[in-house]
Chain A
Amino acid sequence: MALKASGANPKKFHKSQVKFYLFLLPFAVFMLLPILFIFNHAFKPLDELYAFPPRFFVYKPTFDNFTNLFELANASGIPMSRYVFNSLIVTFSVVFLSVVISTMAGYVLSKKNFKGKKAIFEINNAALMFVPIAVIIPRFLTVTILGIEDTFFAHILPLLAMPVGLFLLKQFIDQIPDSLIEAAIIDGASEFKIYLKIILPLIKPAIATAAILAFQLVWNNIETSILFTTSENMRTLAFFMNTLVANTNVVVGQGMAAVASLIMFVPNLILFIILQSMVMNTMSHSGLK
């Protein structure tokens, strides 16, 4: 202990940590306030929403805003369940499929030798840096040419290839010893069996990270709804919530908007809490070169 000068990753509280709390806590308050605000605002009755002077915390919580939101959604002709249904299908498909195709690609990019391997990985890393808006117009054209606009494919296919996800997974698979795979080949395991029985179980934490990234990307995505769909009943919850906030500037609108953002935020939060410890483990092993 005497030798260990570092305070990183301590096991116990020590008074040298106080200065870090003094630095971190004000930031934590600044970061947390807007989030707390969403929670409080969503449960405020009408008179508290417009109270003067404004109140931060809710005094008499109510579910009025929630019922208003659902009623408005029903009145618009398309029940909210339809948007929820669309979002669930799209989100689960993208998360599941993007993890499958990225792990498969990551496996061969990491463990196999073949022509063009280096180039593919380099191009993928360069693609990491591309901002979606920069390619949104041609993407729109691609979707139109493929003739998949206004279908679930238009929501799902454009988001499946995730350069960040592939990068992360590939780096992680790099750490699986080659001997393990060779042994499996000698035992007569097929390539697919190796992928399924050896690779996948060993990179679970990396899969969790990739899943979180994919989830956040697709759950909050409104671009596919705006650009690649034309009929209202093909659009997602994120899109609906966004238009709701943009279009209802009436008095009750504010509470409903807060409810909308709460509904969009909570699934992210829950998923993150569940997978957080796994995430912390993954990122550390994915060295970047």
Chain B
Amino acid sequence: MQKADHLGEAVVEIKTEPPMLQKHLQKAKRINKTPYLFLLPYLLLFLLFIIIPIVMAIYLSFTNFNTIERPEFIGFLNYLNLLTQDEIFMQYVLPNTVLFALIVGPGGYILAFLLAWSLAQLTRLPRMILALIFYSPSMTSGVAMAVVWTIIFSGNQAGYANSLLMRWGIITEPLIFLQDTRYILLIMIVVALWSSMGVGFLAMLAGVLNVDETLYEAGAIDGIKNRLQELIYITIPSMKPQMLFGAVMAIVNTFATGIIGVQLTGSNPTPNYAGQLIVNHIEDYGFIRFEMGYAAALSVVLLLIIYVFAHISKKLFSET
């Protein structure tokens, strides 16, 4: 249908074709200036709400700013204070964040990959259902997280965790999980792992499924015997882009999920700072104490940490 139309058009316009073609090509050249028009809305909003705020955050980190008076420039004082004065940061926040990130980051990432790879070994329907189950925790908002997990870990004997542990005879008295400094971070890690199958997981699942089948056949001829060898020599090398995407997403999510500690314990700072992460510390200084300059310095430090980790994973997964 379409082709006939074009043909018909061409026949009729035989005489006028050269000028027409020229006109269109001219038009095409002129159009080359329009990329900026197409880009304009995105760029404008990107600039306004992402780039400018980042630049502002960096500037504010060199100031003393209480949100009411004008920021007062103080040089590196915030950073110096962060390194030398902020005992809470050094004693609780930094170790908590590192521990949390080290377990949830790689843990969630490896788990996401293992689950994605295993799912790929199943037939279509069970794969779909299981993928939905694994992904659904990532869809729950903070509300659901707070509701479900605070009820499960509630501190009296009617709490589900307590009730189970008591029935099994592991404990005799209910534990006040969410206020007990020994357990808060542990519970945060469990909850974070539970909800860590995000976009990265979907990407890796699609990545495993899309590895070229002929590669496996070639591998079999070359003497690859089992699925483990297949995984190491064929699957992972073939899906580096998805592995990198998953890694970057895991890093970003790990550092961004700071809210759960506050949601679970119901307070910022968390009891005795046991579940305090950098994100909570920023919130504490920025929105509770209104020391925006200091909070901004913390934000810049967080940006740098994430950037460094993302850079390392880029090095690891980029084609060499």
Instruction: Give chain A's interface residues, CB within 8 Å of chain B.
Output: 3-13, 17, 20-21, 23-24, 27-28, 30-32, 34-35, 37-38, 41, 50-54, 56, 100-102, 104-105, 107-109, 112-114, 117, 120, 123-124, 126-139, 141-142, 146, 157-158, 160-161, 163-164, 166, 185-188, 190-191, 195, 213, 216, 219-220, 222, 238, 241-242, 245-246, 254, 257-258, 260-261, 264-265, 268-269, 272-273, 276-277, 279-284, 286-289
In the complex, what's the smallest C-beta–C-beta distance from A166 to chain B, in angstroms?
Answer: 7
Alpha-carbon distance between A40 and B254 when the two chains are bound, in angstroms: 30
Alpha-carbon distance between A288 and B20 when the two chains are bound, in angstroms: 41
Contacts of A5 in B (CB 8 A): 216-217, 219-220, 224-225, 230
Provide the B79-119 mask, 1 if CB < 8 A to any CB of A, else 0.
Answer: 00000000000000000000000000000000000110011
* CB–CB B39/A31 < 8 A: no
Contacts of B23 in A (CB 8 A): 188
* CB–CB A161/B283 < 8 A: no
Asked whether any CB of chain A lies closer than 8 Å to the CB of B144, the reply is yes
* CB–CB B157/A52 < 8 A: yes
Closest residue of chain B to A123 (Cβ to Cβ) is: B51
Alpha-carbon distance between A141 and B224 when the two chains are bound, in angstroms: 59
* CB–CB B137/A34 < 8 A: yes
* CB–CB B128/A276 < 8 A: yes
* CB–CB A107/B286 < 8 A: no
* CB–CB A133/B209 < 8 A: no
Alpha-carbon distance between A137 and B303 when the two chains are bound, in angstroms: 14
Contacts of B167 in A (CB 8 A): 53
Contacts of B213 in A (CB 8 A): 4, 6, 8
Provide the B13-35 mask, 1 if CB < 8 A to any CB of A, else 0.
Answer: 00000001101110110011011
Max chain A C-beta neighbours (<10 A), residue from B132, B148, B207, B221: B148
Alpha-carbon distance between A272 and B137 when the two chains are bound, in angstroms: 12
Contacts of B199 in A (CB 8 A): 164, 213, 283
Max chain A C-beta neighbours (<10 A), residue from B24, B45, B126: B45
Q: Which of B178-235 contact A (CB under 8 A)?
A: 194, 197, 199, 202-203, 205-211, 213, 216-217, 219-221, 224-225, 227, 230, 235
Contacts of B74 in A (CB 8 A): none
Contacts of A105 in B (CB 8 A): 38-39, 41-43
Q: Give the contacting residue for B143; candidates A37, A158, A261, A272; CB below 8 A.
A: A261
* CB–CB B148/A137 < 8 A: no
Q: Give the contacting residue for A238; candidates B143, B149, B202; CB below 8 A.
A: B143
Asked whether any CB of chain A lies closer than 8 Å to the CB of B75, the reply is no
Q: Which of B220-264 contact A (CB under 8 A)?
A: 220-221, 224-225, 227, 230, 235, 241-242, 244-245, 248, 251-252, 255-256, 258
Contacts of A280 in B (CB 8 A): 131, 202, 205-206, 209
* CB–CB B152/A283 < 8 A: no
Closest residue of chain B to A279 (Cβ to Cβ) is: B202
Alpha-carbon distance between A84 and B52 when the two chains are bound, in angstroms: 32
Max chain A C-beta neighbours (<10 A), residue from B42, B142, B225: B42
Asked whether any CB of chain A lies closer than 8 Å to the CB of B320, the reply is no
* CB–CB A132/B256 < 8 A: yes
Q: List 5 A-B contacts (CB under 8 A).
A: A10-B122, A104-B38, A108-B34, A129-B251, A254-B147
* CB–CB B141/A120 < 8 A: no
* CB–CB A37/B148 < 8 A: yes
**Given A17-B122, A130-B303: A261 in contact with B45 (beta carbons within 8 A):** no
Contacts of B197 in A (CB 8 A): 31
Contacts of A114 in B (CB 8 A): 32, 35-36
Provide the B151-182 mask, 1 if CB < 8 A to any CB of A, else 0.
Answer: 11000011110010001000000000000000
In the complex, what's the smallest C-beta–C-beta distance from A45 to chain B, in angstroms?
Answer: 16
* CB–CB A128/B296 < 8 A: no
Closest residue of chain B to A222 (Cβ to Cβ) is: B142
Contacts of B224 in A (CB 8 A): 5
Q: A123-B51, A132-B256, A191-B38 are in contact. List 7 more A-B contacts (CB 8 A).
A: A6-B213, A28-B133, A38-B140, A104-B38, A137-B60, A137-B299, A157-B49
Asked whether any CB of chain A lies closer than 8 Å to the CB of B316, the reply is no
* CB–CB B230/A283 < 8 A: no
Contacts of B114 in A (CB 8 A): 23
Contacts of A195 in B (CB 8 A): 38
Asked whether any CB of chain A lies closer than 8 Å to the CB of B310, the reply is yes
